Chains A and B, each alone.
Chain A
Amino acid sequence: MTETAATLIEKPRSQWRDVWIQFRTHGGALAGMVVFLTLIAFVTVGPLVWTVDPSYVNPDAARMIMTRNKPPSLDWPLGTDQLGRDMLARMMAGGRVSIAVGLVAMSIAIVLGTTVGVLAGLFKRLDGPLMRLTDLVLALPLLPLLLVMVFLFRDALGRALGSETGTFVLIVSAIGATSWMQAARIVRGEVLALKEREFVLAARSIGTPPRRMILRHILPNVISPVMVAATLGIASAIITESALSFLGLGFPPDFPTWGRLLFEGVDYMQLYPERVLWPGLAISLTVLSVNYIGDGLRDALDPRIRGR
């Protein structure tokens, strides 16, 4: 066996290929990915195909009343709402905002929570202050806090970034800033256990600086609980956004989101159950598919499970 031949054959292969191979074997994750990609396509490509204005209300009052609360038909595949607006178009427009809010708010919460958790777990001096801060935010009633935040910053942000972008930034940062505590606590607990493990000691004896210690040894090992917290976080972010919109503090009333569609539909639930069905189904599918993707990703990232 020559040296070069051996090197060529045995070059350590890329870890990400292994991750992908394992991910493919997880049926639920693959199905979740298909569903999630379909939903993304529905809200991004959909409006290009179904070019109906989601906020179009027929100016002719008589015709508007004629087209109110229609059941699904060829003209309106998902029916119409109480103002005769097309539900399919509203679902597409609303989904874009809801999915974006869910993903971005969750990312903010996870990044914030993981940072706080890792710092508190690793550095004893920061542990007390950071965890008391976490307890403090946990103890605050969140909805009033969100209301105050929206009330204080909406106009300023709206002026700076434009009404819709301003509201979007405000809502995702408000939701992100109020939902990182669970992740912080979970991560801190994991880090406290991890830093006593011998491989962390081994890394210290090698002389690995704290920054790379976190990136190389701590974070990859806390990924499982973070992944679970993240997938659940998307669902709660979408719901919180709808609660805010419902209270009139989220997006403007004529601006559709899945949460708002759901709340509007609740009033008519007994007469037109499909009106809550569509947004409810969409939110559930998003949450479920993201959950399954997270599950599959968590398994795929764990070399101990990957081997099986």
Chain B
Amino acid sequence: MRDATGSAEPPLVRVRDLKMFFPVHTGVLRRHTGDVKAVDGVSFDIMEGETLGLVGESGCGKSTVGRALLRLCEITGGSVTIGGVDVATLSPAELRKARPLMQMVFQDPQASLNPRMTVAAIIGEPLDEHTTLSRDEKLARIYELMDAVGLNRRFASHYPHEFSGGQRQRIGIARALALNPKFIVCDEPIAALDVSIQAQVVNLLEDLQDRLGLTYLFISHDLSMVRHIADRVAVMYLGQIAELSPREALYAEPLHPYAKALLSAVPEPDPDREATRKRIILKGDVPSPANPPKGCNFCTRCPEAQERCHSTAPRLSEVAPGRFVACHRVTESAGATGATMANEHNQMGENE
């Protein structure tokens, strides 16, 4: 089990009750009439060297979590601690100093590279900002990074548009690595790539993790890719974490009804098993995050919803070692031992 409750070593990334609301202004006076609750009370830990997969359908707040972690948007509430630094409350100057610790790989490699900068300039930008290397040292470091991500050094003075999608993503990864970060948020780094290239990029990410001891938050909607790369997986639904489990356990036996439905949608390569695969088809649409349902936010579409689900919101609690689920039905059936452990975890969450 790799979680804060079980191990003595503090986690590299600790997120507690993260909230990210976008205000809605309506009417002639543009009065503040509500919030789009993109992320509503998310808590998790990421241990050093671990990969946490974050999955969910579009619009469930995955990317917003990633951006909030690096404070690319001002968070509404909660705390984010990375390497012992509370990122959420840093002043702009302190934040700038803390930037080398955490970096991001973006979804669209085309859009995330400035079309008017050469590869050398793009990879060298973090070095310009945070180091005082001489020109030659910088160039040496840029070449080193290009080697590390498998780009030919000859391409240093080329422009992003001259590369294929996979190569562009490698440039993005090299830029993220330039300052030797500990923690990298991969915001759907493979979603915009061809399938054959996806594998290359994922293997590169794994390879770099082994060599440099990186910690990833891997955001994706590709469940099979997450299964490949992640150690633990968090399933998000409508701004909240529905289930957070070790990879094997989640894929073998998802507990939360939403996780079950989501995983039942993964196609099976074996035709015999594919024929017997039971799809759980959810009815209806995702409720608007501006107006989430009362009680459990999945209750409007949950095939197992009870009366209680419509009135009180379930908490994310530990129902089996290392497995956290936010569902009344699962918590009830988990029994007494699970419940005490869950309490422990919850209190920890509240104290911080």
Chain A residues with CB under 8 Å of chain B are 6-7, 10-13, 15, 197-199, 201-209, 212, 216-217, 220-221, 301-304, 307
- Min CB distance A202 to B, Å, is 5
Q: How far is the CB of A6 from chain B (nearest CB, A)?
A: 6
Is the CB–CB distance between B72 and A303 below 8 Å?
Answer: no
- Asked if A206 and B72 make an inter-chain contact with CB atoms under 8 angstroms apart, the answer reads no
Given A10-B156, A203-B114, A221-B116, 17 extra CB contacts under 8 A = A7-B136, A198-B106, A198-B112, A199-B111, A199-B112, A201-B104, A203-B125, A206-B99, A206-B175, A207-B95, A207-B96, A207-B100, A207-B126, A216-B114, A221-B114, A221-B115, A303-B118
Distance (whole angstroms) from the CB of B264 to the closest CB of chain A: 33
Name 19 A/B residue pairs within 8 A (Cβ), A-sorted. A6-B143, A7-B139, A7-B140, A12-B120, A12-B157, A13-B157, A198-B107, A198-B108, A199-B111, A201-B112, A203-B125, A207-B97, A207-B129, A216-B125, A217-B114, A302-B116, A303-B118, A304-B161, A307-B159
Closest Cβ–Cβ distance, residue A285 to chain B (whole Å): 32
Do B106 and A202 touch (CB < 8 A)?
yes
Query: Which residues of B, 121-164, contact A by the 8 Å Cβ criterion?
Result: 125-126, 129-130, 136, 139-140, 143, 153-154, 156-157, 159, 161-162
CB distance from B237 to the nearest CB of A (A): 25
Could you tell me the distance in whole angstroms from the C-beta of A2 to the nearest C-beta in chain B?
13
- Measured between beta carbons, the chain A residues less than 8 angstroms from B104 are 201-202, 205
Instruction: Sort chain B's interface into a size bin.
Output: 35 or more
B130 to chain A: which residues have CB within 8 Å?
A: 206-207
Residues of B within 8 A of A (CB): 67, 70, 72, 95-97, 99-100, 102-104, 106-108, 111-118, 120, 125-126, 129-130, 136, 139-140, 143, 153-154, 156-157, 159, 161-162, 172, 175
Judging by beta carbons under 8 Å apart, are A208 and B106 in contact?
A: no
Q: Are A304 and B159 in contact (CB under 8 A)?
A: yes
Greatest chain A CB density within 10 A among B106, B107, B112, B116 is at B116
Bound-state CA distance A222–B136 (Å) is 31
Distance, CA A204 to CA B103, complexed state (A):
10
For B112, give its contact among A202, A208, A221 (CB under 8 Å): A202
Q: Contact between A208 and B125 (Cβ–Cβ < 8 Å)? A: yes
Min C-beta distance of A122 to chain B, whole Å: 15
- Looking at A13, A199, A201, A216, the one whose CB has the most chain B CB atoms below 10 A away is A199
- Which of B103, B139, B154 contacts A205, CB < 8 Å? B103
Tell me the complex Cα distance, A273–B303, Å. 89
A304 vs B154: C-alpha distance in the bound complex, in angstroms? 18
Residue on B nearest A199 in the bound complex, by CB:
B114
Contacts of A208 in B (CB 8 A): 125, 129
B residues in contact with A301, CB < 8 Å: 116
**B99 close to A207 (CB less than 8 A):** yes
Q: In the complex the two chains form, is A304's CB within 8 Å of B115's CB?
A: yes
Shortest beta-carbon distance from A233 to chain B in Å: 23
Of chain B, the residue at the smallest CB distance from A9 is B154
The binding surface of chain A is classed by DSSP as helix
Chain A residue at smallest Cβ distance from B136: A7
Please measure, in the bound complex, the distance between the C-alpha atom of A207 and the C-alpha atom of B157, giving whole angstroms: 23
**With A7-B139, A203-B125 given, is the CB distance from A198 to B96 under 8 Å?**
no
In the complex, A206→B97 CA distance in Å?
10
Whether A303 and B116, one on each chain, are in contact in the complex, defined by CB atoms closer than 8 angstroms, is yes
Sort A-B residue pairs by CB-CB distance and give the 10 closest, nearest first. Answer: A207-B99, A12-B157, A198-B112, A303-B159, A198-B111, A207-B96, A220-B116, A199-B114, A12-B120, A206-B126
State in angstroms the CA–CA spacing of A212 and B125 once bound together.
11
Q: Which residue of B lies closest to A200 (CB)?
A: B114
Whose C-beta in chain A lies nearest to the C-beta of B157? A12
A12 to B146, CA, bound (A): 14
A203 to B176, CA, bound (A): 11
A307 CB contact (under 8 Å) in B95, B106, B120, B162: B162
CA distance A303 to B108 in the complex (A): 19
Q: Decide: A303 near B161, CB < 8 A? Known: A10-B154, A201-B72, A206-B129.
A: yes
Q: How far is the CB of B91 from chain A (nearest CB, A)?
A: 13
Residues of B within 8 A of A11 (CB): 139
In the complex with contacts A7-B140, A198-B107, A307-B159, A205-B70 CB distance below 8 A: yes
User: Using Cβ atoms and an 8 Å threshold, which residues of chain A touch B100?
Assistant: 207
Instruction: Determine which residue in A11, A198, A209, A212 has the highest number of CB atoms from chain B within 10 A of its CB, and name it.
Output: A198
Q: CA separation between A13 and B157, bound complex, in Å?
A: 7
Known contacts A199-B112, A205-B99, A217-B114; A6/B153 CB under 8 A = yes
User: From residue A159, how far is it (CB to closest CB) to chain B in Å?
Assistant: 47
Q: Which A-chain residue is minimally distant from B161 (CB atoms)?
A: A304
Chain B residue at minimal CB-CB distance from A221: B116
Residue of B95, B96, B97 ringed by the most chain A CB atoms within 10 A: B96
B118–A15 CB distance below 8 A: yes
Nearest CB of A to B34, in Å: 20
In the complex, what's the smallest C-beta–C-beta distance from A307 to chain B, in angstroms? 6
Q: For B112, what are the chain A residues with a Cβ–Cβ distance below 8 Å?
A: 198-199, 201-202
CA distance A208 to B103 in the complex (A): 13
A212: B residues at CB distance < 8 A: 129
Residues of A within 8 A of B115 (CB): 221, 303-304
Residues of B within 8 A of A302 (CB): 116
**Shortest distance between the CB of B226 and any CB in chain A (Å):** 22
Give chain B residues whose Cβ lies under 8 Å from the Cβ of A205.
Answer: 70, 72, 99, 102-104
Q: In the complex, what's the smallest C-beta–C-beta distance from B249 to chain A, in angstroms?
A: 33
Q: Are B129 and A197 in contact (CB under 8 A)?
A: no
Taking a contact as CB atoms closer than 8 A, the residue among A6, A204, A221 that contacts B72 in the complex is A204
User: What's the Cα separation between A15 and B125 when bound, in Å?
Assistant: 16
Chain B's closest residue to A202 (CB) is: B112
A54–chain B nearest beta-carbon distance, Å: 46
Chain A residues with CB under 8 Å of B162's CB are 307
Residues of B within 8 A of A206 (CB): 99, 103, 125-126, 129-130, 175
Q: How far apart are A98's CB and chain B's nearest CB, in angstroms? A: 34
